[in-house]
Structure 1
Amino acid sequence: MKKSFQNKNNKITRKHFIILIVCIVTGFIIGYSYNLTKDEEKVNNSYLNQEESYREDLIEQQERNKELTEELNNLQVRIREFEKSFAENKDEYEHLLDEAEKLRLIVGEIPAQGEGVRVTLKDGEYDPNSTNPNEYIVHESHVLSVINELKISGAEAISINGQRLKSNSYIRCNGPVITIDGKQYPAPFVIEAVGDSQSLVASMKIVGGIFDQLLNDRIVVTIEESDLIQMPSVNDES
């Protein structure tokens, strides 16, 4: 009778031990899962807070840029008004005033309008016999050649696909897309220039000039004269 009781007691002890082990493991798993979830929440909250901070900084910077642009435009208007009033009293400074206005036009500080030309560049037709598609697509070298020729010929202002070029504008072509100062525009590439239309067209179509070179590169080129081409200032563009 005593031996039977001891066996029963041993069985109870082993059962309790197994239950204890299971409880410990279960508690460890629950605790680990809780800590892991807590850490993930901390990381997610950190990312969200950082993203919100960046967003607020960006909005603040955009507002500040807008204020500075408006302030710059107002100052430029005041300077021009002062120069005009000064020139009315001092005729000898009219020439300097005209030169200053031309410089502002060249750097894009003021809008430009007048007669000019419109040059459109398109990729040549697909040639299944050609192994190199670069042989008939528009590259930045083609665009830059047209722009340089227009500048040499006296263009007062130039734009590509509606964007006014600055003196330090960065231009890059990538297939059917052109990037101008970080902004992308699709093909075709329309280059407009304000200036004496006859002189600009004549310089483009001179024998052996840019027009002939583009045709030799199998680029589709059209040149149109226009009585009125309008461009905003670089500060008016969004």
Structure 2
Amino acid sequence: MSKIDGKRVVLSLVCVVLGFMIAFSYNLTKDNQGVREDKAWNQEYELRQQLIEQEKQNREFQKELLQKQDIVSKIEKDLAQEKQLFFNLAKDTEKYRMFLGKVKVRGTGLQVTLEDGTNMDPKANVNDYLVHEQHVFKVVNELYISGAEAVAINGQRLNRDSYIICNGPVITVDGHQHPAPFIISAIGDPDVLGASLDLPGGIKEQLVDDNIIFTMEKKKNIIFDPVIGG
């Protein structure tokens, strides 16, 4: 074999080895790249799964939150109704206490004065010109019906057990005698109370027809003390 042939053999051998090394390096690089790509894909897949799971949990939490908000809303509504109920009970209790004369009351109102008639016919019966208990009853009842919170006769406050009896020219209220004129005071809306008494054919006209002198006056400040022993 000549030297030239020997160099060719060596060169060929070197080329073969070099090609093998290049191919091995390429395959190794390709495999490593594939591993990296697989690893990156797996990481991305895990992140997506975690995100999907997190969104699922968020939807569950949101659903639970809405349910709890509904419960809280119902509780608040129930509390508001109970608060209104207690307020109404307290208001009614205060109204009944005023009606029963248990508490001191102050407010605007109306004052009605009933006096015996003066233009008496000499031939007429004197009793036809006197204020009787039925006249006082009519005024008191109409005042209560019209919304009066408290009523007094000549400063004596009425309560649930009050009674009125006529004894000639005087009337007896709960055992206390009062001569005419009879001043009936009521706490309430003076416009409403006055209008109810002054209706056509109402209490005022009826009493005037019975020869009673009827006057009424609005008051800005009326004070009633509690009924003693009431």
SS at match of 1:91: helix
* Distance (Å, rounded) in 1 between the aligned partners of 2:129 and 2:149: 30
Identify the match of residue 118 of structure 1 among 104, 111, 118.
Answer: 111
* Distance (Å, rounded) in 2 between the aligned partners of 1:131 and 1:99: 49
SS at match of 1:168: coil
Q: Is 2:140 aligned against 1:134? A: no
Aligned to 2:163: 170
SS at match of 1:103: helix
Q: How does 1:191-210 map to 2 (within 5 A)?
A: 191-210=184-203
SS at match of 2:142: helix
Question: How far off is 1:186 after superposition?
Answer: 1.7
Q: Is 2:171 aligned against 1:181? A: no
Aligned to 2:153: 160
Aligned to 2:222: 229
Question: How far off is 1:135 after superposition?
Answer: 1.1
Normalised by the length of structure 1, the TM-score is 0.59
Q: List per-residue Cα deviations over 1:172-199 (Å, max 9, x = no partner).
A: 1222212111111221100000001000
Identify the match of residue 91 of structure 1 among 43, 68, 83.
Answer: 83
Residue 138 of structure 1 contacts residue 175 of structure 1 at CA under 8 Å; is this kept in 2? no
Gaps of 5+ in 1: 1-89
Letter aligned with residue 202 of structure 1: A
Q: List per-residue Cα deviations over 1:27-63 (Å, max 9, x = no partner).
A: xxxxxxxxxxxxxxxxxxxxxxxxxxxxxxxxxxxxx
Question: How far off is 1:235 after superposition?
Answer: 2.3
Two-structure CA RMSD over aligned residues (Å): 1.6
Q: How does 1:74-85 map to 2 (within 5 A)?
A: none
* Distance (Å, rounded) in 1 between the aligned partners of 2:195 and 2:171: 26
* Distance (Å, rounded) in 2 between the aligned partners of 1:177 and 1:142: 13
Residue 114 of structure 1 contacts residue 229 of structure 1 at CA under 8 Å; is this kept in 2? yes
Residue 120 of structure 1 contacts residue 223 of structure 1 at CA under 8 Å; is this kept in 2? yes
- Aligned pairs, number: 148
Question: How far off is 1:113 after superposition?
Answer: 1.1
Normalised by the length of structure 2, the TM-score is 0.61
* Distance (Å, rounded) in 1 between the aligned partners of 2:174 and 2:157: 10
Q: Using the aligned pairs only, state the percent identity.
A: 48
Question: How far off is 1:128 after superposition?
Answer: 4.5
Q: List per-residue Cα deviations over 1:55-84 (Å, max 9, x = no partner).
A: xxxxxxxxxxxxxxxxxxxxxxxxxxxxxx
Q: List per-residue Cα deviations over 1:72-115 (Å, max 9, x = no partner).
A: xxxxxxxxxxxxxxxxxx83422211111111011110011101
Gaps of 5+ in 2: 1-81
